[in-house]
Amino acid sequence: MMFSLPLVFIKYMEYISNLRRPLDNTTEELSLNKRLAYRVDVFLSFHPYAKPLTLLIATLLLISLGGLALFGVTDDSIANCLWLSWTYVANSGNHTNSEGIGPRLVSVSVSFGGMLIFAMMLGLVSDAISEKFDSLRKGRSEVVEQNHTLILGWSDKLGSLLNQLAIANESLGGGTVVVMAERDKEEMELDIAKMEFDFRGTSVICRSGSPLILADLKKVSVSKARAIVVLAEDGNADQSDARALRTVLSLTGVKEGLRGHIVVELSDLDNEVLVKLVGGDLVETVVAHDVIGRLMIQCARQPGLAQIWEDILGFENCEFYIKKWPQFHGMQFEEVLISFPDAIPCGIKVASSGGKIILNPDDSYLLQEGDEVLVIAEDDDSYAPAPLPMVKEASLMHIVRPTRKPQKILLTGWRRDIDDMIVVQGGNLPKNLIIPKTTERILFCGWRRDMEDMILVLDAFLAHGSELWMFNEVCEKEREKKLTDGGLDISRLANIILVNREGNAVIRRHLESLPLESFGSILILADESVEDSAIQADSRSLATLLLIRDIQAKRLPYREAMASKIHRGSSSQGSWREEMQQASDKSVIISEILDPRTKNLLSMSKISDYVLSNELVSMALAMVAEDRQINDVLEELFAEEGNELQIRGADLYLCEGEELSFYEVLLRARQRREIVIGYRLANAEKAIINPPAKTERRRWSVKDVFVIIADKE
């Protein structure tokens, strides 16, 4: 009887459905089994607790049917039968005292049903536990953090970015960085472990998800992050920037709002305006290719500048900090300049102008209430103002500041750095003296997708009549089309003449067709065709560098003297390296390097300067993530107008063997409206930024050089 009840119920439901079936024969007939299966499927799919609820209903139904069956074959009350049915379900061996065929059949049937339900319950619990562990392993659990740094995306720059953020958080005892990308969590954690960085107490948490999905953004506590970094994807620039734009749209759509700012890495300068339009005041942009292109041009004009930028952009040495000091209210900037023994002031954040940062202000600028001081220091808590030191003003020499008013003057002879060497002891030369720029010949090896932007920057920097040679595998007609599509009007270039040469930069005979000995600067670019592979791009750049240096060494006039010297006994390994180092004195070569491991090869050989593009961009992203105000400083230092980092010879500020303190040199440079932030001694390989003991006097040589912040005259 008990087993026939479900069959009777199903037949009854079929009978009811047949009575309600429409007469239209065109309508597809569905059986009750299909309808029930569909309803069960919908129930299990949409209700989160469908499985345990189904198991509970099945258990209650089994107990009820078993109790009714026992009530029919025994003389017990319905309550005792229901309780006895429950004991059979819970313990299948609890019917040893059953007597008679009827009670035993019912008890065995209920026990079989109980075992089935128990097995289903074990499977359900096991699945729930496995699903939870799988969710944790796959990075689907929610991050319960606040004031953390959130990184969206994955690229080759992630390792350097994590390293810089860890260094920045070291003074705070460590921090939390959350990385969310469309990758498997275990793969991300494995790749980060392979980086072998010392994270200095910083925790790195990985989560799998898409920044375009609000639920995934909520999972990483996006509304509580103090900074959000959106990394550019490797590959097509337009697709990468389009995805960054969609990510910014998703971030601005977070209902809870954002506590921190958004730092977006872009690949193309043309897309910057659109991203800022969408993100508004929340967004700070760093255009990777534009930054590296401008930096390579600056380094080509001033050898050694790449190392200076590595020191300033990273958190390992000295970097920019902005802080308010109420005791400076009413003081002139000239006094503030020598008030920090452990830092060098280089700008003011003006409160009255909405927080605008003025680099290298006038000495007479009076600090107002709310103004903040921009300094270069080792750490945020490593500097503080001190009483003004005594600086000997009598030792100052008069230095003429160049102005933009032209005046005719005859010079006999010419030096490449003649515009930096005019030091007037008694004011004998006119104060409105201006020296014209010298024409230059520069070679670009390789093709970058932002070539038109680099050409425009060069046109602003170089003198009229300068030549830019472009040597790459792109045919000349396609070259012109790419430049035109990028917005460059070649006919409007005011100062440079473009010379196109087609060839492969890793084939010697192609390079030998160029007058390599006549170029003042050579830039080896990470070619667009191989930039997605850092190792391949660096291998190509390194091969091009060695070929160019070898060709230059064989063409230079001291070749015979070098050959005789080598023949007298120098080693074969030292010979080629010494040859190329001699050739490096005649022209500057800047190589764009993507992989940090490649820089060790160039550092040891000393035959080329280099720009470590991925690492420098990561440093810039980390600095802007820590303090968004620094982005304004970097934008001005990289722009065509305003202030920039420069390297100046010591003979501009002192005489051979003169004993001066660093503060005295600093005040002398102020006569040229310059701020000295460091120096490199003649026999040293590395510059010292923000030197200690600024009041101690030392003997200087005119072969020393100073690192300054000055206006682009």
β 261-266/227-230 pair status:
parallel
649 by Cβ neighbours in 10 Å (0-12 / 13-18 / 19+) ranks as: middle
pLDDT 10s digits, 634-672 = 999 988 788 999 999 999 898 888 899 999 999 999 988
* Nearest of 201, 202, 149, 157 to residue 180 by alpha carbon: 149
Interatomic CA distance for residues 93 and 114, integer angstroms? 11
Return the closest-CA partner of residue 514 out of 448, 455, 464, 444. Answer: 444
Asked whether this chain's domains 36-138 and 441-555+576-609 adopt the same fold, the reply is no
- Whether the pLDDT of residue 299 is over 80: the answer is yes
For residue 424, the model assigns a pLDDT of 33
User: Alpha-carbon distance 537 to 293, whole Å?
Assistant: 16
Only one residue has tokens 């003004």, namely 388
Residue 342: pLDDT band with limits 50, 70, 90: very high
Query: Does residue 1 have a pLDDT over 60?
Result: no
- In this prediction, residue 628 carries a pLDDT of 92
Confidence of residue 428 (pLDDT cuts 50, 70, 90): very low
pLDDT digits (tens, 9 = 90+) for 178-234: 999 999 888 898 899 888 778 888 999 999 899 999 989 999 999 999 999 999 987
* 440 within 8 A of 463, measured Cβ to Cβ: yes
Position 49 scores a pLDDT of: 74
Please report the DSSP string for 398-421 in residue order. P-PPP-S-------SS--TTGGG-
Asked if 448 contacts 528 with a C-beta cutoff of 8 angstroms, the reply is yes
Supply the angle between the helices 572-584 and 534-555 in degrees, to the nearest 10.
80
pLDDT for res 238: 83
Alpha carbons 519 and 468: distance in angstroms, whole number = 10
Average pLDDT over residues 685-710: 91
Amino acid at 232: A
Is residue 148 a contact partner of residue 175, using CB atoms and an 8 Å limit? yes
Angle between helix 101-137 and helix 50-73 axes, rounded to 10 deg? 170
Tell me which DSSP letter residue 146 carries. S
125-130 LR contacts (CB < 8 Å, sep 24+): none
Q: How far is the CA of 406 from the CAs of 402, 409, 435, 614, 672, in angstroms?
A: 10, 9, 8, 42, 17
Q: Let me know the angle formed at the C-alpha of 500 by 494 and 504, rounded to the nearest 5 degrees.
A: 145
DSSP string, 259-316: SSEEEEEES-GGGHHHHHHHHGGGEEEEEHHHHHHHHHHHHHHSTTHHHHHHHHHSSS
Give the 3-state secondary structure of residue 149: strand
Q: Which CATH number fits domain 36-138: 1.10.3470, 1.10.287, 1.10.4160, 3.40.1350?
A: 1.10.287
Q: In this structure, are residues 505 and 541 in contact, taking their beta carbons and an 8 Å threshold?
A: no
Residue 60 in this model has a pLDDT that exceeds 70:
yes
Q: How far is CA 620 from CA 122, 157, 160, 638, in A?
A: 54, 11, 11, 12
Q: Give backbone dihedrals phi and psi of 179, rounded to 5 degrees, phi first.
A: -115, 125
d(CA 176, CA 150): 9
Name residue, tokens 């830019």.
Answer: 468
Q: Edge-to-edge strands of the sheet including 203-208? A: 203-208, 176-181, 149-152, 227-230, 261-266, 283-287
Whether pLDDT at 275 is above 90 = yes
Check residue 530 and give its pLDDT: 80
CATH superfamily of the 441-555+576-609 domain = NAD(P)-binding Rossmann-like Domain (3.40.50.720)
| Model confidence at 563: pLDDT above 60 | no
At 94 the three-state DSSP class reads coil
Ranges of beta strands (E only) in 503-661 are: 521-524, 588-593, 609-612, 643-649, 659-661
Domain layout of the chain by residue ranges: 36-138, 149-297, 304-392+642-711, 441-555+576-609
Averaging pLDDT over each range in 78-92, 95-109, 124-138, 336-350, which range is the top one?
336-350
- Reply yes or no on whether the pLDDT at 327 is more than 60: yes
Q: Cα–chain-centroid distance for residue 481?
A: 31
CA 473 to CA 505: how far, in whole Å?
Answer: 8
Q: Is the pLDDT of residue 358 over 90?
A: yes
pLDDT score of 603: 67
Other beta carbons within 10 Å of 654: 22
The fourth-level CATH superfamily of domain 149-297 is: NAD(P)-binding Rossmann-like Domain (3.40.50.720)
pLDDT at residue 306, rounded to an integer: 83
Task: Quote the pLDDT of residue 462.
Answer: 84
- Nearby residues of 633 by Cβ (< 8 Å), 6 or more positions away: 320, 347, 357, 359, 374
In the prediction, which pLDDT does 11 show?
A: 56
Per the prediction, the chain carries an average pLDDT of 80
Higher-pLDDT residue of 627, 113: 627
Query: What is the reported pLDDT for 359?
Result: 93
For tokens 């170029």, name the residue.
519
Find where tokens 């993100």 sit.
279
Q: Are 706 and 653 in contact (CB under 8 A)?
A: yes
